[in-house]
Chain A
Amino acid sequence: MNYHWNWRVFWEPAPNGTGTYLDMLLSGLVLTIETAICAWIIALIFGAVIGVLRTLPSKTGSWIGFAYVEFFRNMPLLVQLFLWFFVLPEILPHSWGLWMKQMSNAPFYTAAIGIGLFMSARVAEQTRAGITSLPRGQKLAATALGLTTAQTYRYVLLPMTFRIMLPPLTSEFLSTIKNTSVAITIGLIELTAETRAMQEFSFQVFEAFTAATVLYLLVNIVVVIAMRFVERGLAIPGYITGK
């Protein structure tokens, strides 16, 4: 195997003047986390709304929800990102398209929105599953007490749903973090992209990828442990909320 190992490459200065190669990777990691969090917030908001929409008694609402979920689930994430990044600016009026293309950090916003909407379909499904798993009695009792539909959801159904949903939501959040790597294709310089750049400048393929693997694993472990604390705090007695 004629590959020259060099583990000290991490402390060598990177050509982009920002410090060592390790700094390059860490700045990529920061961008990964930022994108993941923004995407996750979008996913939670839209996902919850659509999930609720699907469980509402109204036929149109449930149909809109169904169409939304099917739309975002049946296209690969990569294709969706391409549509947002490459196609949308071209079909909008010229000046808007130009503004979109020349925005600094365009990849970041596109990635956050694209990944966020993609994940929102899955959050919607989880929300729907969560709501429908609640005993029917809850909704009936709320109606008997004179609460409107909106109030039923706000005070009775949703709080329970979110607490039950925490474990699947954790794994969706981890999925979001992993999906940020797909944004390398639209120019987001997150962790995987920085790893590639490091590989290209320093020719140390395996060192670079090992570091990236370790960093992703670390992020995973941190998120899992943090969520375990949250789950324990919010666990509902009598429900199986953990694995």
Chain B
Amino acid sequence: MKRLRIMGLVLAAACCAAQADAEELTGTLRKVKETGVITIGYRDSSIPFSYLDDNQKPIGFAIDICLKIMDAVKKELKLDKLTVEFNPVTSSTRIPLLANGTIDMECGSTTNNPDRLKQVAFTNTHFLTATRFVSKKSSKLNSIEDLRGKSVASTSGTTNIRQLTEANAARNLGINIIPAKEHAESFLMVETDRAVAAVLDDILLASFAAGSKDPDAYVISTDAFSKPEPYGIMLRKDDPAFKKVADDATAALYQSPEGQMLYDKWFMQKIPPKGLNLNVPIGAELKKAFAKPSDSPDPDSYKTM
């Protein structure tokens, strides 16, 4: 116990040193002002939202959005220097790590839904996607019914695995659900024939299929487990000041032409590391969500007429 106490005292000294003049800032803004560091949680393989390039540096659509939020925070707090640190997260560690302060915002492919809003907050939606499954064309699986009795992979901690679990129980499909740690692993299970299908957000499936060794071998189901649901950057709950900064920054970004350029950069042009072009034109719902930014968890609110 002695060791811990000493460590703790050293930590306290370090923290106090930076505490010069914290005004009435609260929550994350206060933490950033005091420490001069903001920590972004990134994903290993959520292409093209948040993933590692060849030099193991985090890049992606959501990462760029978060860097814009970081600029806004820097301006808001009138800081000369704001250090950005990156911390890897997985689907199952992102919420606990946000709550325990290891990361300040999670920039990836996290679905905004009412359940999660009990634990965290989300800023304006940056993408809409539905849960589908990918399989090899040779398996001839077209609908969710075809998955009956088979082995299906999905990533732990996602809404996808939860929807799969619930569908499995409700429709009595007897599916053997294989949980994987990361999205890349889920897709790998299909690639290596360990599972006949992988259930994930359709945009992620498209990225994996397109980037695989044999893109034509895969097909993404038209059958969906859910309606198109919104992705949002995740923030800590009960932190209205930081959320306002994030909301304002993202709204400004989406409504400006820069937002469209950013979208094109990741979805309509070649992206690292293999120069893949996903070629996913901006959908009508997402265009509407960019014109009128919203952080609503309700999929129906994004429908166009």
The answer to whether any beta carbons of A and B sit under 8 Å apart in the complex is yes
When the two chains form their complex, are residues B169 and A16 in contact, meaning their CB atoms are under 8 A apart? yes
User: A58: CB under 8 A from chain B?
Assistant: no
Tell yes or no: A98 within 8 A of B by CB. Answer: yes
Interface size range on B against A: 20 to 34
Some 12 contacts from A to B, beta carbons below 8 A apart, are: A16-B166, A16-B169, A17-B165, A17-B169, A90-B192, A104-B151, A106-B194, A196-B156, A199-B96, A200-B91, A200-B92, A200-B156
Q: Determine the residue in chain A with the shortest Cβ distance to B163.
A: A15
Q: Cβ of B151 and Cβ of A203 under 8 Å apart?
A: no
The residues of A with any CB-CB pair to B shorter than 8 Å are 2-4, 15-18, 90, 98, 101-102, 104, 106, 185, 187, 189, 193, 196-197, 199-201, 203, 205
Q: Determine if B151 and A17 form an interchain contact, defined as CB atoms under 8 angstroms apart.
A: no
With contacts A101-B194, A200-B157 taken as known, whether A2 is within 8 angstroms of B99 at the C-beta atoms is: yes
B96 contacts A205, CB within 8 Å? yes
Question: Which residues of chain B from 155 to 206 have any CB-CB distance to chain A below 8 Å in the complex?
Answer: 156-157, 162, 165-166, 168-170, 176, 178-181, 192-194
Instruction: Report yes or no: B119 in contact with A102, Cβ–Cβ below 8 A.
Output: no
A residues less than 8 Å from B118 (CB atoms): 4, 203
Assess whether B47 is interfacial by the CB under 8 Å rule: no
Q: Is the CB of A203 within 8 A of B193?
A: no
The residue that A101 contacts in the complex, of B156, B181, B193, with Cβ under 8 A, is B193
Contact of A199 among B92, B178, B238 (CB under 8 A): B92
A130 CB, nearest partner CB in chain B, Å: 38
Q: Are A203 and B119 in contact (CB under 8 A)?
A: yes
Q: Determine whether B235 belongs to the interface, using a CB cutoff of 8 Å to chain A.
A: no
Are A102 and B193 touching (Cβ within 8 A)? yes
CB distance from B110 to the nearest CB of A (A): 13
Q: Are A15 and B156 in contact (CB under 8 A)?
A: no
Query: How many whole Å from A47's CB to the nearest CB in chain B?
Result: 31
**Is B29 close to A, CB under 8 A?**
no
Given A15-B162, A15-B165, A17-B169, are A196 and B193 neighbors across the interface (CB < 8 Å)? Answer: no
What residues of B have a CB within 8 angstroms of the CB of A201 in the complex?
Answer: 162
> A162 → chain B, closest Cβ, in Å?
39
A98 & B193 in contact (Cβ 8 Å cutoff): yes
Tally of A-B Cβ pairs under 8 angstroms: 54
Q: Mark B79-112, 1 if CB is under 8 A from A, else 0.
A: 0000000000001100110010000000000000
B237 located at the interface, meaning its Cβ lies under 8 Å from any Cβ of chain A in the complex? yes
Contact among A17, A98, A187 for B179, CB-based, below 8 A:
A187
Residue of B nearest to A202 (CB): B115
User: B89 → chain A, closest Cβ, in Å?
Assistant: 13
User: Are A16 and B165 touching (Cβ within 8 A)?
Assistant: yes
| Complex-state Cα separation, A187 to B165, whole angstroms | 15
Chain A residues lying within 8 Å of B119, measured Cβ to Cβ, are 4, 203
Residues of A within 8 A of B192 (CB): 90, 101
B236: which A residues are within 8 A, CB to CB?
A: 2
CA gap between A189 and B194 in the complex, in Å: 16
Instruction: Determine whether the beta carbon of B156 is less than 8 Å from that of A102.
Output: no
Looking across the interface, which residue of chain A has its beta carbon closest to that of B27? Answer: A2
Contact between A17 and B156 (Cβ–Cβ < 8 Å)?
A: no
Question: CB distance A203 to B95 under 8 Å?
Answer: yes
- Contact A102 to B151, CB < 8 A, known contacts A196-B156, A197-B156, A199-B92: yes
A15-B169, A187-B180 known, 9 other contacts, Cβ within 8 Å: A4-B119, A15-B162, A17-B168, A101-B193, A102-B194, A185-B181, A187-B178, A196-B156, A203-B118
Given contacts A2-B237, A104-B151, A197-B179, contact A15 B166 (CB under 8 A): yes
Taking CB as reference atom, which chain A residue is nearest B239?
A2
User: For B157, what are the chain A residues with a Cβ–Cβ distance below 8 Å?
Assistant: 200
Residue among B92, B116, B238 with max Cβ neighbours from chain A (10 Å):
B92
User: Which residues of chain B are within 8 angstroms of A196 by Cβ–Cβ distance?
Assistant: 92, 156
Chain B, residue nearest A206 (CB): B96
Contacts of A185 in B (CB 8 A): 181
Q: Do A17 and B170 form a contact, CB below 8 Å, given A3-B99, A187-B179?
A: yes
The answer to whether A2 and B238 touch across the interface, beta carbons within 8 angstroms, is: yes
Closest to B180 in A: A187
Shortest Cβ distance from A98 into B: residue: B193
Interface residues of B in 225-240 (CB under 8 A from A): 236-238
Q: Which B residues lie within 8 Å of A18 (CB)?
A: 169
Give chain B residues whose Cβ lies under 8 Å from the Cβ of A17: 165-166, 168-170
Bound together, the chains give a CA A196 to CA B237 distance in angstroms of 22
Contacts of A90 in B (CB 8 A): 192
Among B122-181, those with CB < 8 Å from A are: 151, 156-157, 162, 165-166, 168-170, 176, 178-181
Which residues does chain A contribute within 8 Å of B168, judged by CB atoms?
16-17
**A213 to nearest B CB, angstroms?**
16
CB distance from B16 to the nearest CB of A (A): 20
